[in-house]
Amino acid sequence: MKISKRTQDMPASAIRKLVPYSDAAAAQGIKVYHLNSGAPDIASPDCVKQALAQRCANFHHLSYTNSAGLLELRQGLIEKYYRKVGIELELPELIVEVAGSEAFSVAMEIATDPGDEIIVIEPFYTNYQTFAYLHNITLKAVHTGIHDDFRIPDISEFEKLLTPRTRAVLISNPCNPSGKLFDKEEMLAIGEFCRKNDLFLISDEVYREFTYTDAPHFSAMNLPGCEQNVILVDSVSKRYNLCGARVGCIASHNKDVMAAAVKFAQSRLCPPVLGQYAAIAALDTPDEYFAQVRQEYIRRRDFTVARLNAMEGVYSPMPYGAFYAMAELPVDDAEAFCKWLLTEFRVDGETTMMTPVRSFYKTPGEGINQVRIAYVLEVPEMEKALDILEEGLRAYPGRTI
Amino acid sequence: MKISKRTQDMPASAIRKLVPYSDAAAAQGIKVYHLNSGAPDIASPDCVKQALAQRCANFHHLSYTNSAGLLELRQGLIEKYYRKVGIELELPELIVEVAGSEAFSVAMEIATDPGDEIIVIEPFYTNYQTFAYLHNITLKAVHTGIHDDFRIPDISEFEKLLTPRTRAVLISNPCNPSGKLFDKEEMLAIGEFCRKNDLFLISDEVYREFTYTDAPHFSAMNLPGCEQNVILVDSVSKRYNLCGARVGCIASHNKDVMAAAVKFAQSRLCPPVLGQYAAIAALDTPDEYFAQVRQEYIRRRDFTVARLNAMEGVYSPMPYGAFYAMAELPVDDAEAFCKWLLTEFRVDGETTMMTPVRSFYKTPGEGINQVRIAYVLEVPEMEKALDILEEGLRAYPGRTI
């Protein structure tokens, strides 16, 4: 019995493939500091817990919902987009998805036929590559560099990648993994590029609230003249610390896009109803919640980046969005180093887990000595985790300094 | 801006594509009896509600779980399979999925490369066709007929469909939509066919508890010599009336299958955690719950089938599993009739919704005058719904008698 070649050749998740090693370490009683995954330790809003407990105590059975999601949730999200992002959506222009993962997978399939191409900006969220593989899409990457603050290059770099098979540009803003926050001019340039070349612009904005400059986040949905191009991908995961709820959405003014999204939605019947209940309750989250969370992340970010740059041979630029710091390490191979930390290296029975980012780049050789560090723990925990990293760098056999 | 051809050509869900018409009827204040979807009205077990309310009152935030699902759930399911189905599974032989939908989609991709073929038994669950389309798989159908009690034909009918590209047989047992329950001999024959021809046997057993004969359900996992062939698809949706939870699983003794399933699981990060909490609590469901549910379905089934056959020109064979009755109606086109009921026909401000099953068949012309009726309402409600159907049949302009 042979499994298919397409699944044999499918890339393993770079973020999750070290999990068996951290599980093994945990099973040995080792404490692992998880800086590898964008899973913060911050409490969900109180209003979510209360409403959810009430719904769960009183339900009769859990029925399927409308494939597009509960009406109450869709209406609430539309009201939220109007108030917070300044965009007006009709009811058929938004569908609830099984988190951001389903939303961008569906958006990619809607934009492309097998063999088509999507332009991404490297480093990019590695699962874009996984779904590109599954849907037979080629990603073409515009490069941004760690020593250049991940600045978006001139639009001519995008034009160089255009072929007759280019169908879309896919961005995450703020960017996972680089923490890059796109400014208005960059967004206008990308929007104009998509408009002029008849490309979809798939905009993954799940980190919209996590910005650390004074300029407001500029949503692709606000790009003038791009109403038919933009497909918004969103999620409650990071915003409300509800990663496990698996609820997100896709939104577009393009009627054909949404008609196609309905068919995908119906094929998997419905998004999880308990997660939808949580998302409905989360609509009532007070603004102070976000203000507090933002202050906390600024504290963690400032500590993390300063601590990283204080280590010999380490370079980490300041990120202005999301909750990731990229770091260049003095090691031969960051993946081997991350695995070694999990399997070999302990400080007082503890170790640190990070994500190697080679697979976040398309350009061969790029990112080989870089890691993504999610600053998702409180500062005292981050401190311990980064102390272990520094000691590990000194002890690692493959160190380059 | 053009959407991709693959999504333009994607078939709409036959079960859900009438939903906009029922929504419109409901918006007009019309009561719609939903016999269209396998969404029962029976209460979930009390233990689920209690445990869930407790978990929801006390959680701090909702983190991602292991991509394979919470350990507690996986261990509990394995223990359950041992006790209830008599099979022994190791931990890596089971992965929690986003309900049966994800489980069979993943199983189909693991079994096939683009252009490969899967043998199904028609009528089959229509979403098999949707995912076959998305994954570029051709379904080849062994026919079973409504006037023949959906009896499985001789294995020579399967052999006729074999080509060098055949990779798997996909069954649902008990069968949605036909209610067919496979007996041990039929299962042994299909298992031997798969073993001999090196095919995967994807066995969708989400209705395992819903059987109405004295013979126990025979799981494909118990087929001797087929340990490497069988991929089990399961779900908590129907078993515990938790359709909205979106939790199921895939299980196989085949290590390559499970290694591939891990990669798929990691790409979508994790199954919904609140649904997993519900599924963990459901493991404590007492046997009396199933006994009561079974008696209730037998009552509904007997009423439904008798009532259908008492209508002029209607034929409905007795189903022995699941909670669907198939019915042949005296109409030109069952889909047009179902739509007409929703858009045109009312009895005292009420109407009935059913699922036309033409798309549950591959053979051209088959099933054109058939519907699937989910007997998921209590008998007094079923009675009203079926009274409306009978009156509708008399009034429908496209009636054939």
ipTM: 0.95
- Name chain A contacts of B97, Cβ cutoff 8 Å: none
A71-80 vs A273-282: helix crossing angle, rounded to 10: 30
Region class of A129: left (phi > 0), else alpha (psi between -120 and 50), else beta = alpha
Tell me how far apart the alpha carbons of residues B224 and B212 are, in angstroms, rounded to a whole number.
Answer: 25
pTM listed for this prediction: 0.96
B96 to chain A nearest CA, in Å? 14
**Predicted confidence (pLDDT) per residue in B10-32, tens digit:** 988 877 789 889 999 999 999 99
**Predicted confidence (pLDDT) per residue in B122-178, tens digit:** 999 999 999 999 999 999 999 999 999 999 999 999 999 999 999 999 999 999 999
Instruction: Tell which of A252, A282, A312 closes a domain.
Output: A282
Our count of domains for chain B comes to 2
Question: Both B24 and B50 in a single domain?
Answer: no
A261 to chain B nearest CA, in Å? 9
**Whether B263 and A7 lie within 8 Å, measured CB to CB:** yes
Would strands B350-353 and B31-34 be described as parallel, antiparallel, or unpaired? parallel
Question: Both A340 and A192 in a single domain?
Answer: no
Question: Both B21 and B98 in a single domain?
Answer: no
Question: Both B60 and B125 in a single domain?
Answer: yes
**Whether A1 and B65 lie within 8 Å, measured CB to CB:** no
Residue where the block lists tokens 């994607």 = B10
B205 to chain A nearest CA, in Å? 17
Tell me how far apart the alpha carbons of residues A142 and A178 are, in angstroms, rounded to a whole number.
Answer: 14
Residues forming beta bridges with residue B203, ordered by sequence position = B171, B232
Write down how long chain B is: 401
B336 to chain A nearest CA, in Å? 20
Report pLDDT for B38.
Answer: 87
Please, are residues A220 and A205 in contact by the beta-carbon 8 Å criterion? yes
Q: What is the CATH number of the domain that holds B347?
A: 3.90.1150.10
Report pLDDT for A215.
Answer: 87
Q: Is residue A400 part of a domain?
A: no
Q: Is residue B116 part of a domain?
A: yes
Which residues, given as ranges, of chain B have pLDDT below 50?
none
- Name chain A contacts of B55, Cβ cutoff 8 Å: 56
Q: Is residue B400 part of a domain?
A: no
Q: Is residue B227 part of a domain?
A: yes
Tell me how far apart the alpha carbons of residues A372 and A326 are, in angstroms, rounded to a whole number.
Answer: 5
Report pLDDT for A56.
Answer: 87
Residue where the block lists tokens 């003794």 = B253
Residues 215-244 of B with CB under 8 A from A: 228-229, 241-244
Please, are residues A48 and A283 in contact by the beta-carbon 8 Å criterion? no
User: Is B128 an 8 Å CB contact of chain A?
Assistant: no
Please, are residues B202 and B111 in contact by the beta-carbon 8 Å criterion? yes
**Predicted confidence (pLDDT) per residue in A143-180, tens digit:** 999 999 999 999 999 999 999 999 999 999 999 999 99
Question: Both B232 and B131 in a single domain?
Answer: yes
- Name chain B contacts of A273, Cβ cutoff 8 Å: 244-246
Question: Both A180 and A116 in a single domain?
Answer: yes
Q: What is the CATH number of the domain that holds A111?
A: 3.40.640.10
Tell me how far apart the alpha carbons of residues B120 and B135 are, in angstroms, rounded to a whole number.
Answer: 16
DSSP-H helix ranges across A203-333 = 255-267, 273-282, 287-309
**Within a 10 A sphere around the Cβ of B257, how many other Cβ atoms?**
26
Q: How far is CA A71 from the centre of its chain?
A: 26
User: Is A57 an 8 Å CB contact of chain B?
Assistant: yes
Report pLDDT for A201.
Answer: 98
Domain of residue B14, residue span: 5-43+288-395
Q: Is residue A262 part of a domain?
A: yes
Question: Both A387 and A239 in a single domain?
Answer: no
A247 to chain B nearest CA, in Å? 9
Report pLDDT for A267.
Answer: 93
- Nearest Cα residue to A379 out of A320, A290, A298: A298
Our CA angle for B148, B152, B158, nearest 5°, is 130
Question: Both A11 and A58 in a single domain?
Answer: no
Please, are residues A118 and A231 in contact by the beta-carbon 8 Å criterion? no
**Whether B134 and A267 lie within 8 Å, measured CB to CB:** yes
Question: Both A236 and A132 in a single domain?
Answer: yes
Question: Both B381 and B257 in a single domain?
Answer: no
User: Is B263 an 8 Å CB contact of chain A?
Assistant: yes
Question: Both A158 and A265 in a single domain?
Answer: yes
The nearest alpha carbon in chain B to A71 belongs to B23
Question: Both A142 and A265 in a single domain?
Answer: yes
The nearest alpha carbon in chain B to A99 belongs to B268
**Whether B275 and A270 lie within 8 Å, measured CB to CB:** no
Please, are residues A322 and A401 in contact by the beta-carbon 8 Å criterion? no
Closest CB from A60, A66, A244 relative to B43: A60
Q: In what order do the strands lie in the sheet with B166-172?
A: B94-97, B248-251, B230-235, B200-204, B166-172, B117-122, B138-143
Please, are residues B131 and B108 in contact by the beta-carbon 8 Å criterion? yes
Closest CB from B8, B64, B260 relative to A37: B64
A292 to chain B nearest CA, in Å? 16
Which residues, given as ranges, of chain A have pLDDT below 70?
none
User: Is A117 an 8 Å CB contact of chain B?
Assistant: no
The nearest alpha carbon in chain A to B244 belongs to A64
Q: Is residue A128 part of a domain?
A: yes
Q: Is residue A187 part of a domain?
A: yes
Q: Is residue B401 part of a domain?
A: no
Would strands B248-251 and B94-97 be described as parallel, antiparallel, or unpaired? antiparallel
Q: Give CA separation, A37 vs A354, A376, A389, B262, in Å.
A: 8, 8, 16, 17
The type of residue at B194 is: C
The nearest alpha carbon in chain A to B226 belongs to A1
Please, are residues B325 and B375 in contact by the beta-carbon 8 Å criterion? yes
**Under DSSP, is residue B103 helix (H, G, I), strand (E, B) or coil?**
helix
Our CA angle for B218, B200, A132, nearest 5°, is 125
Instruction: Tell which of B282, B316, B331 closes a domain.
Output: B282
Instruction: Tell which of A266, A282, A298 closes a domain.
Output: A282
**Whether A246 and B109 lie within 8 Å, measured CB to CB:** no
